[in-house]
Structures are given as C-alpha cells and as structure tokens.
C-alpha cells in the first residue's frame, strides 16, 4: 500500500505513456511488467484507477482487447489517415500488433464494412460496387482499345491499388462460369452507348489463366494447307 502512495496519478499515467512509446503500442499488463524502465507494478496502477483499461484510457491510450465502439472507430480513422485511403482487412492483419483484429470489428458492428461506414468511410453497396467496376472497365478498355482480360485488370490494379481486385470484380458478377464474360458484356454495352466505335473484343481469359497467342495454331493450319 505504501508503494502505491509513492506515485501521484499523473506519475502513473506518465509511466503508462512512456511504456507505450517504447513499445510502439498500448501495453498489456504483462508487457508493462516486463518493461525494465517501467517503475511501478501493474497492480499499483490497477488499484489506483480501478482497472488496467480504465488507466490506459485516462492516459489517452486505447484498450487493445476491450475497446469501446468510439475507440475502434477512432483507430480506423487514424489508420485511414495514415494510408490515405479506406482501410482493408489486410491492413488490419499487417498491423495486428497495434490494431484490433477484423473479428473484433465484426463482433462490435456486425461486419467490417459496417464499421467502415460508421467511421465515415465511403463504402459502396454491392450495386454501387458493380457500377463502379463497369465504369473502371470502360476506362481501361478505352486505354487498351479492346475489352480487358482478367490479366489486364490484375496488371492495372498493380498500378492503381484503389481498384477492386480482379477476383472482387469476378465475384461481383456471379463468381461462377461466365462471370467475367458477364462483366465484359456490361462494359461493352456501356461503350456502345457512349463511344462512336466499339473496342475490339478480347478473348475472355479464365481466372488465373495466362494470355495465350494463337500464332502457333495459325502456323500449324498453314502447314496443313500446303501439303
């Protein structure tokens, strides 16, 4: 008890902040106890503030496991500001040491997309997402002067991470046999309505397949004809 009285509230909160700065994240009780530069015992802090997470909140730190809804949203907004875009589940996974897991957002908000919307991010509904995919398809087709293949889209996304992935587009349009062809048909119709000339249709590639040239087949046909 006497040991607890050696520290004022501000001193204990400063100890918590100092530990967090050294770790690069909000510390757990175990991490704090293992910090050689942290002087008070974790239980001293718990006894003073009623709980470990209560003390961390008083210190301006985020509780990593039992965060409030507003703390979770604040972390999403901060991550979005750092990235310069809407965070993804993969972003959380890469920062699992300092960010709550995607499952925490699912449990609190019902889905990760709902959490993003609550944090103020633009998260389109499925119909909006498919519409945007068609618009991007038109833009890409115009640049290529033909309809894009699955591989064209993958290469474009490497250059522009804001695009949905080729697999996301594939799933938006059914995700089964003919899904990419369905997407291309919508792009082609949009082009026909807004462009004087249609781009040349590319042979739709199966997801995961590489573009193949027809040149060997053409050479074989010419060889047969000359016999």
List pLDDT tens digits, range 211-227.
443 444 444 444 544 44
What mean pLDDT do residues 31-49 have? 92
User: Which two structure tokens, joined as six digits, stand for 184?
Assistant: 């291309």
Domain residue limits, the chain: 2-58, 69-118, 126-194
Highest mean pLDDT among 14-28, 82-96, 136-150: 136-150
60, 65, 77, 11: which is closest to 40 by C-alpha? 11
What mean pLDDT do residues 156-170 have? 87
What is the reported pLDDT for 137?
93
Highest mean pLDDT among 2-11, 68-77, 81-90, 181-190: 181-190
What is the reported pLDDT for 4?
46
| Cα atoms in the Cβ-side hemisphere of radius 13 Å centred on 128 | 4
128, 132, 134: which is closest to 191 by C-alpha? 134
What mean pLDDT do residues 42-64 have? 86
Highest mean pLDDT among 17-31, 35-49, 193-207, 213-227: 35-49
What is the reported pLDDT for 129?
84
What is the reported pLDDT for 100?
79
Q: For residue range 172-218, what is the model confidence (pLDDT) as tens digits?
A: 888 888 899 999 999 999 998 875 444 445 555 555 544 443 444 44
Q: What pTM does this model have?
A: 0.47
What is the reported pLDDT for 141?
93
């Amino acid at each position: 008890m006497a040991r607890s009285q050696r520290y004022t509230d501000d001193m204990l909160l400063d100890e918590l902040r100092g530990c967090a700065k050294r770790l690069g994240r909000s510390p757990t009780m175990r991490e704090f106890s293992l910090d050689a530069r942290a002087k008070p015992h974790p239980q001293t802090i718990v006894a003073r503030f009623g709980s470990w997470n209560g003390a961390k909140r008083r210190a301006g730190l985020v509780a990593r496991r039992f965060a409030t809804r507003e703390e979770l949203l604040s972390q999403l907004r901060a991550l979005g500001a750092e990235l310069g875009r809407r965070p993804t589940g993969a972003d959380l996974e890469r920062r699992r040491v300092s960010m709550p897991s995607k499952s925490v957002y699912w449990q609190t908000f019902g889905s990760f997309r709902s959490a993003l919307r609550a944090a103020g991010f633009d998260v389109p509904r499925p119909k909006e997402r498919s519409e945007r995919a068609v618009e991007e398809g038109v833009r890409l087709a115009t640049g290529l002067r033909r309809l894009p293949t699955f591989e064209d889209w993958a290469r474009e996304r490497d250059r522009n991470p804001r695009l949905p992935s080729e697999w996301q587009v594939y799933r938006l349009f059914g995700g089964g046999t003919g899904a990419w062809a369905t997407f291309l048909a919508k792009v082609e119709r949009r082009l026909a309505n807004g462009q004087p000339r249609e781009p040349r249709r590319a042979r739709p590639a199966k997801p995961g397949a590489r573009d193949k040239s027809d040149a060997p087949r053409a050479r074989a046909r010419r060889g047969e004809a000359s016999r």
